[in-house]
């Protein structure tokens, strides 16, 4: 889409539509492991006080029986969604008794792989399907990788804002097609600039030794393709920002050449459906049944569309007997789901309101910035920047790859982006009479030049200063968060 950032902002200012930038629909999903006071994974069943996992829309499980998932409905303001997440989190804390919510994205002390309990569901068609799908994930990737947690942020633009953009830039095209186009354009820019969010909010620089087997396996894979890379990667603890979204975390970005560029709904749909119907030799050899029990849904590259990992997803509310992909194809994009956020152990809910104000500004930047289709060459640079930031983001003078092919210092590129972020935040704050957007951008800007403000660096320094290991630090934060009203 041929959009000009300055012209769009000028139009919002001239037409006095700046307030629309702060409006929309907002919701959160938070995953956390239940632990006992020692920091070990709780092996107790999902507390019965929360009822049927398939029926409770607020509190359910993710991969494991110990893997609590808290889900808010959508609200008209970030503050309302945040307060509802707080209410649900408090309900969970009260319902798990003497157990605690692990406050970090990388898992706590894990038992042997065989003893990690996959979530069980009622003996219904839906429940059986969910269990088999999880068994397939365990078979393909190992259970430990599935124990990673995070925050998902769901939001859609206000209808009045979409209508305004359509009147301004629609050029008479079909409105549903226009809405799809702006969401895919936003998503491509999110992929291009997500390294910024990983740098600013990455909060998983360490993991427990019980997770090392996953890392060792990945290092062996790296060694086969780039033996000279191994030594620097082995020192990831020194500079990492987010193991969760690194190649040591839950990501199949590099597997099976899954180059999905989000250039259009048609391209996206065709590629996902091909991955779901293409046989994978390795997965097929694992078999579908063991001891008369089904252990994966199929032997294809993806068991279903949920297995495709992406740092952002485009979504539509689904109807009865409908998949997410069906819904997108029939009715187009309704909202986006940001999936790249680590749990921040210094925040009771795993994230702060100020962080969400910044992300709202960031998403508008992604929408307004020029967004050409992604090529294979650019896609490789996008992923390179992603992995550089996850494992070396705190390294002084880190160089990234700009999408014109030249190297650029993280700080320099960050400065260029923050110029535009500040323009958006100023417009939003002036239009609403509230400095929260301007202040959030100014506070995040400080992290470019002082890494002591980064959550990943704060974790590193606290563990070092307190002479704590990963388990001691996480357990202390869990107790501290429990005591916050």
Return d(Cα 376, Cα 380) in angstroms, integer. 6
Residues 6 or more apart from 369 whose CB is under 8 A from it?
A: 3, 5, 189, 420
pLDDT-derived band at 234 (thresholds 50, 70, 90) equals confident
pLDDT-derived band at 251 (thresholds 50, 70, 90) equals low
The whole-number pLDDT of residue 338 equals 98
Return d(Cα 277, Cα 301) in angstroms, integer. 7
56-69 pLDDT, tens digit per residue, is 999 999 999 999 99
Q: What token pair was written down for 224?
A: 């086969």
DSSP 114-156: GGSPBPP--SSHHHHHHHHHHHHHHHHH-HHHHT---EEEEEE
The whole-number pLDDT of residue 404 equals 87
pLDDT-derived band at 252 (thresholds 50, 70, 90) equals very low
Return d(Cα 269, Cα 280) in angstroms, integer. 19
pLDDT-derived band at 3 (thresholds 50, 70, 90) equals confident
322-371 pLDDT, tens digit per residue, is 999 999 999 999 999 999 999 999 999 999 999 999 999 999 999 999 99
Q: Is 309 exposed, middle or buried (0-12, 13-18, 19+ CB in 10 A)?
A: middle
Task: Indicate the range of 135-139, 226-230, 265-269, 456-460 predicted with least confidence.
Answer: 226-230
pLDDT-derived band at 250 (thresholds 50, 70, 90) equals confident
What is the mean pLDDT of the segment spanning 442-471?
98
The whole-number pLDDT of residue 249 equals 92
The whole-number pLDDT of residue 227 equals 67
Q: Looking at per-residue confidence, does 438 or 225 come out higher? A: 438
- Residues 209, 111: contact at Cβ < 8 Å? no
Task: Indicate the range of 31-40, 216-225, 331-340, 400-409 predicted with least confidence.
Answer: 216-225
- Residues 99, 35: contact at Cβ < 8 Å? yes
The whole-number pLDDT of residue 233 equals 74
Q: Which residues of 255-285 are buried (b: 16+ CB within 10 A; e: fewer)?
A: eeebebbbbebeebeebbeebbeeebeebee
What is the mean pLDDT of the segment spanning 29-54?
97
What is the mean pLDDT of the segment spanning 222-247?
82
pTM of the model: 0.97
H-state helical runs in 155-264: 159-169, 175-201, 212-225, 230-234
8-23 pLDDT, tens digit per residue, is 999 999 999 999 999 9
Q: Which helix (H) or strand (E) holds 458?
A: helix 455-465
What is the mean pLDDT of the segment spanning 12-41?
97
Judge whether residue 255 has pLDDT over 70: no
What is the mean pLDDT of the segment spanning 308-320?
93
- Going by CATH, does the domain composed of 5-273+305-482 fall within 3.30.590.20? yes
pLDDT-derived band at 1 (thresholds 50, 70, 90) equals low
Strand-pairing partners, residue 341, are 151
The whole-number pLDDT of residue 187 equals 98
Longest Cα separation, the chain: 69
Judge whether residue 283 has pLDDT over 90: yes
The whole-number pLDDT of residue 256 equals 52
The whole-number pLDDT of residue 254 equals 46
Residues 6 or more apart from 312 whose CB is under 8 A from it?
A: 187, 190, 191, 194, 336, 337, 338, 339, 340
Query: Which sign does the torsion angle of CA 250, 254, 260, 261 carry?
Result: positive
Residues 6 or more apart from 63 whose CB is under 8 A from it?
A: 118, 119, 134, 137, 143, 146, 147
Return d(Cα 348, Cα 356) in angstroms, integer. 15
pLDDT-derived band at 221 (thresholds 50, 70, 90) equals confident
75-95 pLDDT, tens digit per residue, is 999 999 999 999 999 999 999
The percentage of the chain sitting over the pLDDT mark of 70, rounded to a whole number, equals 97
DSSP 310-347: -SEEEE----TT--HHHHHHHH---EEEEEEEPP-TTS
Length of the chain: 485
Arithmetic mean of pLDDT over the chain: 95
């Amino acid at each position: 889409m041929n959009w000009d950032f300055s012209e769009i902002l000028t139009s919002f200012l001239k037409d006095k539509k700046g307030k629309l930038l702060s409006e929309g629909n907002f919701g959160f999903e938070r995953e956390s492991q239940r632990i006992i006071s020692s920091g070990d994974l709780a092996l107790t069943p999902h507390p019965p006080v929360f009822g049927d996992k398939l029926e409770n829309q607020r509190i359910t499980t993710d991969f494991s029986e110990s893997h609590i998932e808290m889900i808010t409905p959508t609200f008209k303001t970030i503050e309302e969604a945040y307060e509802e997440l707080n209410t649900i989190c408090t309900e969970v804390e009260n319902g798990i008794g003497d157990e605690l919510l692990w406050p970090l994205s990388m898992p706590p002390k894990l038992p042997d792989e065989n003893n990690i309990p996959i979530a069980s569901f009622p003996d219904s068609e839906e429940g059986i399907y969910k269990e088999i799908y999880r068994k397939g994930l365990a078979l393909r990737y190992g259970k430990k990788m599935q124990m990673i947690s995070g925050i998902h942020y769901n939001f859609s633009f206000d209808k009045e804002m979409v209508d305004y953009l359509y009147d301004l830039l629609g050029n008479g095209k079909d409105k549903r097609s226009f809405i799809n186009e702006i969401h895919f354009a936003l998503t491509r820019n999110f992929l291009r600039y997500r390294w910024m969010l990983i740098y600013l909010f990455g909060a998983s620089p360490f993991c427990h030794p019980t997770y090392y087997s996953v890392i060792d396996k990945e290092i062996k894979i790296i060694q086969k393709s780039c033996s000279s890379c191994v030594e620097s990667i082995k020192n990831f603890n020194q500079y990492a920002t987010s193991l969760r979204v690194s190649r040591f975390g839950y990501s199949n970005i590099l597997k099976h050449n899954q180059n999905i560029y989000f250039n259009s709904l048609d391209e996206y749909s065709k590629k996902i459906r091909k991955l779901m119907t293409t046989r994978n030799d390795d997965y097929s050899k694992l078999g579908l049944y063991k001891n008369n029990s089904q252990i994966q849904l199929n032997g294809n590259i993806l068991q279903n569309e949920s297995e495709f990992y992406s740092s952002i997803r485009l979504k539509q509310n689904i109807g009865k007997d409908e998949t997410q992909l069906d819904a997108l194809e029939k009715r187009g994009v309704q909202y986006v789901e940001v999936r790249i956020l680590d749990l921040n152990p210094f925040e009771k809910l795993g994230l702060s309101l100020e962080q969400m104000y910044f992300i709202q500004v960031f998403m508008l930047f992604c929408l307004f910035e020029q967004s050409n289709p992604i090529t294979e060459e650019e896609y490789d640079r996008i992923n390179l920047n992603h992995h550089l930031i996850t494992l070396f983001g705190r390294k002084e003078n880190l160089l990234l790859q700009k999408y014109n092919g030249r190297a650029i210092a993280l700080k320099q590129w960050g400065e260029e982006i923050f110029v535009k972020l500040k323009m958006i935040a100023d417009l939003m704050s002036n239009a609403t009479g509230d400095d929260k957007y301007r202040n959030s951008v100014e506070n995040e800007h400080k992290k470019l030049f002082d890494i002591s403000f980064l959550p990943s660096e704060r974790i590193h320094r606290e563990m070092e200063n307190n002479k704590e290991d990963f388990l001691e630090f996480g357990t202390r934060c869990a107790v501290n968060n429990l005591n916050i009203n």
